Structure 1
């Protein structure tokens, strides 16, 4: 049995240790579930990179997403309090989407996934697409230009 699994199975305080491991797994599964699917992270990244966007701008920035799918993803993200939906008093009506303060807290997780993905891609294909830069210095430079980090 792997060491980590054994740790979960030890009866430090009876059943409490097992419950703690289960609770931690549930928290991770909640996070993964909230970000799962093909489109949530690209939509989040578009809003992190560009700030508030109207519906059609999101469609332009997230290549390949259909309007129907984007509508579904935006509703789910709004129900999870990651973004706000503001109807502007224009003709025709314009709807603008922006990350909430809570949604902005995902920036560290997204950048960590990016860093890991860059290292993993290099490992798999054996080619460094960043040249002399490390994944973290590349991300650090990129982060400075994103509106999510200027608020």
Structure 2
């Protein structure tokens, strides 16, 4: 096996492109990021709570998305010993590593919307203060230092 330093520039580009495509495939679709955001924002949630927080998602679609995210080790599924049976979903430590990526997508999206619409959707709030407020309220970030640094 070759060291990364010895990889040809074209092969390295292909390798990097494949890694990006893997990440995009894992987060692609209409619902994965909203489901991840709901878990980041609210902590552990039962199935129906996720349905309530992710407006418009069907139970069938949520089941499919949660199974995919569980197979990618982003969420854990815990069956609670209750009557009726309750299933709770939580982000794994690995899933929590996506918070920086999601905030970066949010930052880019806000700039992009401003560029296209010609107005700032945050009003007088700066993006930095918006992110700081948002992050400190998310259970996954309590007790951690600020994650996103916006320019």
The two structures have a TM-score, normalised by structure 1, of 0.88
Structure 2: gaps spanning 5 or more residues: 142-151
Q: Distance in 1 between matches of 2:70 and 2:116?
A: 36
Change (3 A) 1:29 1:142: same
Structure 1 residues 14-58: Cα deviation after superposition (integer angstroms, max 9, x where no partner): 971111110000000000000000000000000000000000000
CA contact (8 A) 1:10 1:17 kept: no
TM-fit CA distance, 1:74: 0.2
TM-fit CA distance, 1:128: 1.2
Change (3 A) 1:13 1:143: closer
TM-fit CA distance, 1:140: 1.6
Change (3 A) 1:143 1:91: same
Structure 1 residues 97-126: Cα deviation after superposition (integer angstroms, max 9, x where no partner): 000000000000000000110111111111
Larger C-alpha radius of gyration, 1 or 2? Answer: 1
TM-fit CA distance, 1:136: 2.6
The two structures have a TM-score, normalised by structure 2, of 0.88
TM-fit CA distance, 1:10: 19
Q: Distance in 2 between matches of 1:103 and 1:47?
A: 10
Structure 1 residues 68-107: Cα deviation after superposition (integer angstroms, max 9, x where no partner): 0000000000000000000000000000000000000000
Question: Where do 4+ consecutive residues of structure 1 move more than 4 Å?
Answer: 9-15
The count of residues paired between Structure 1 and Structure 2 equals: 141
After the TM superposition, which of the residue ranges 46-55 and 11-20 deviates more from structure 2? 11-20
Root-mean-square deviation (CA, aligned residues, Å) is: 3.0
Q: Distance in 2 between matches of 1:11 and 1:82?
A: 29
Q: Distance in 2 between matches of 1:36 and 1:15?
A: 29
